[in-house]
Amino acid sequence: MKRRYFGTDGIRGRVGQEPITPERMLKLGWAAGRVLGRSGKVLIGKDTRISGYLLESALESGLSAAGVDVRLLGPMPTPGIAYLTRTARARAGIVISASHNPYEDNGIKFFSSQGTKLPDDVEAEIEAMMDQPLETVSSAELGNAKRYPDAAGRYVEFCKSTFPSRMDLEGLRIVLDCANGAAYQVAPHVFSELGADVIAISNEPDGFNINQDCGSTSPAALQSKVQEFRADVGIALDGDGDRLIMVDDKGNLADGDQILYVIGMARKRNQRLNGGIVGTLMTNLGLEQAFQASKIPFKRASVGDRYVMNLLTQEGWELGGESSGHIICLDKSTTGDGIICALEALSVMVQTGKSLADLKSGMELFPQNMVNVSIPREVHIKNSFDVNASEKIQDAVAEAEKELADKGRVLLRASGTEPVIRVMVEGCDELMVNRLTNNLASAVKEAAGEAAA
């Protein structure tokens, strides 16, 4: 059945436009309450967007109307909400966040009582229930709402518990970019309480500056600060704290593929790698080849942490991730967690005595270029633009693949969270890769314009 609201990562859009409106959120809260049942409580956490207050109140009202008790977490990283949902024995957890998107956007996603994303069939039930008339339970049965006690402190202690007990971060200077997002309170405490000298930046959210020229999607400021303060490493989270990008002491970036390499190789050396490792269609070919050389099984999932999680579960493996920095360590958390993955990478540095630059040097990245081609929002909402059905785009793809031969690849896909088509080309020659990416992006832009006409 075609989804109207839920995408690959919950419900997301521009605030004030369907479906991110107060009316729709009220109905969503009520429908979720009806489907999930009145037994137990539902936790609600959010990032630092100004619209979080609006959506939180609407969801709370809808859940109360369905007779469901609510516990409010306030600003909390997405993985923290997953953790507290599980440990508090809650019926479900709700995240109000648009992750790495700008403040004008917002979104809703759900966690099950196990701290995992809701199954597709449950999301479908919630969508179907939203078509029903909203009926409020009797006054005696209305749900109540309370603040959850010491939510931030509980999550800080959990993150610290994943770090080796006989190890600390004494002597390490870390520049920490909190993206003016959900981790601005908890992240500095985690690293400093483990002994690191922490220099926090982008940790003063005002409701409007989340992800603005900071965080994992804009790490230039972090690279500069690492060099300015002569830090050992830089850590950049995104707006909801589930992604991680790092910077070595030389100011060079380490993306999700390189971090996954550092963690995966360490687990292999320490005999802690359970099975293999999952990447995605966007994973750099250099990572796949590095794992092959070390006899580490590697498989690719579709883009999106939901699909990485599905393949990990299917294979019985524990480690997987995306080049964007969304890394899942299933032996530690039920979802991607930027803080916990950073701690594991830091533990490798401490254990080996090597810098991040040295640890990632064993993997050679293939030149890869990705361009986000914006498409008209109305085309995105209607899901009426298919890159595979456009003759113009497919001709451009065929030409690019012919030129790359067997030494590269092309990937085009629609984003599940933004009105863009992601155009990626990977190959051995950087100039060729950039030229082919620009050619394909132009073809996609022209075809999208024709679809909107």
224 assigned to active site: no
Measure CA 248 to chain center: 22
Nearest Cα neighbor of 98 from 167, 160, 10, 217 is: 10
Phi, psi values for residue 356, rounded to 5°: -60, -35
Cα dihedral 261/266/268/274 (nearest 10): -80
Catalytic residue among 99, 112, 218, 333: 99
| Sequential DSSP letters for 100-146 | TS-TTEEEEEEE-TTSSBPPHHHHHHHHHHTTSPP-PPPGGGPPPEE
Structure tokens at 273: 């790698």
Which residues make Cβ contacts (< 8 Å) with residue 173, sequence separation at least 6?
196, 197, 199, 229, 230, 231, 232
Nearest Cα neighbor of 177 from 134, 131, 222 is: 222
Q: Is 358 exposed, middle or buried (0-12, 13-18, 19+ CB in 10 A)?
A: middle
Decide if 84 contacts 128 (C-beta within 8 A): no
Nearest Cα neighbor of 419 from 440, 444, 438 is: 444
Distance from C-alpha of 245 to C-alpha of 216, rounded to nearest angstrom: 5
Decide if 110 contacts 32 (C-beta within 8 A): yes
Amino acid at 73: L
| Sequential DSSP letters for 151-215 | HHHHHHHHHHHTS-TT---TT-EEEEE-TTSTTTTHHHHHHHHTT-EEEEES----SS-TTTT-S
Q: Work out the number of other CB atoms within 10 angstroms of the CB of residue 114.
A: 10
Phi, psi values for residue 308, rounded to 5°: -60, -45
Q: Work out the number of other CB atoms within 10 angstroms of the CB of residue 431.
A: 9
Decide if 140 contacts 49 (C-beta within 8 A): no
Distance from C-alpha of 265 to C-alpha of 294, rounded to nearest angstrom: 8
Length of the chain: 453
The residues annotated with a catalytic role in the active site are 99
